[in-house]
Amino acid sequence: MSLHWALICHGLITLTIVVSFLCGQWRIFQGTPISSIHRFLSFGAYQYFLRFIGAVFGDRGTNLILSVEYYCCDRPNPILQLIYLAIIGTTYYIIVKTSFSYIPGYYLSEAHRYASFLAIAVGILLFLVTSFSDPGTVKADNVSRYLSAYPYDNIIYTEKECPTCKIPKPARSKHCSLCNRCVARFDHHCGWMNNCIGERNTRYFLAFLLWHFLLCIYGTIAIGLVLAGRLKELQIVHVLTVYYGVDNSLRSLAPYVVQTFKWQDYISWQKNLIEARASTAALKANIAGMTTEGKPQESKCKSFFRRSLLQDTEAIVKKNVYDKGFFHNLYEVVFPVSTRASFLHTKSKSG
């Protein structure tokens, strides 16, 4: 019975960590321990670490840590790529040395020896493909095609020129200061990949995140079943594995989520603006009613059927020209515009 309870506790702790990382910022978890754990693991732990370094080594220690952070995260270099490979390689080596002696076992067959290697290999392959693939660089010879593929909405994206590349900026594109290039449908610059995530490689990046999330689940179940007797020792290794995989996914996805909900922020701002205008109009109407007592009042029937200013928000939502439906947007991610025959045909005609 104690073994079963140990497995249950192990699963609950891992599930809490995963949910906290992935969903801790959701509104449903605001004010709950899930939100607190998310803040601590994503931001608080690092801040406490900086305070500890400052208390022990002073400003020199803190500045050294910040310099390392700047070098690793704010400029292109392969350090984080090597760290990723080191973490994956070391973790798999530890698992082989400590767990493979228990395979085959009562719960798992010998096939999991090869399945685990295949799972790691696929993850590394997706990592390499994402790292060294073209994110969708916008150049002078293809900018006209990207301009036709991604039209301006004149709300969030307007016609302008990149001051660095000296070419027009297509809608949803951005100039990456780290890579010094404009990227179509720019999402973010990923330090772990040492590459931008854009129109052409977002599909590989999302596949990488999904695969590593499934890899964490697979590792949780396998380690919990095979090495239950040594759970206390191996839980440390496992939690570090989950921490790396999920935290990397969250930090990489954060800019993507920010850009995804940029339109929602704009709509919210517009709603607040319209509500403020409606309140101002109502206040003016009340003041006008007090100063013009002899003026006939508007009939209740006409006032009821008069269009409310808040109804204008529906028109704002409909103006999102980039929201083409879930499946169509997903199709654009899996099959980017620049890889389609129509785009290549336009290239040959323009050339």
Q: What is the pLDDT of residue 270?
A: 58
Q: Give residue for tokens 């039209």.
A: 151
Residue 312 burial by CB count (10 A; 0-12/13-18/19+): exposed, middle or buried? middle
Say whether 190 is catalytic: yes
Q: What is the pLDDT of residue 347?
A: 52
- Residues of the chain short of pLDDT 50, as ranges, are 1, 229-261, 263, 300, 304-305, 309-310, 313, 348-351
Place of tokens 């003016």: 284
CA 273, CA 268: separation in Å to the nearest integer? 9
- What are the structure tokens assigned to 317, written together? 């939502």
State the burial class of residue 290 (Cβ atoms within 10 Å of its Cβ: 0-12, 13-18, 19+).
Answer: exposed
- Confidence at residue 297, expressed as pLDDT on a 0 to 100 scale: 54
pLDDT of residue 125: 94
Within 10 A of 168 (CB to CB), how many other CB atoms are there? 17
Separation between Cα atoms, residue 70 and residue 327, nearest integer Å: 38
C-alpha 337/C-alpha 340 separation (Å) is 5
Give the model's pLDDT for residue 95. Answer: 79
The confidence score (pLDDT) of residue 266 equals 52
What is the distance between the alpha carbons of residues 137 and 180, in angstroms, rounded to a whole number?
Answer: 10
- Look at residue 71 in the predicted model and tell me its pLDDT: 78
Which two structure tokens, joined as six digits, stand for 21?
């990382």
What is residue 283's predicted lDDT score, i.e. its pLDDT? 57
Catalytic residue among 182, 190, 196, 216: 190
Q: Please answer whether residues 140 and 152 qualify as being in contact, where contact means their C-beta atoms are separated by less than 8 angstroms.
A: no
Tell me the whole-structure pTM to 2 decimals.
0.61
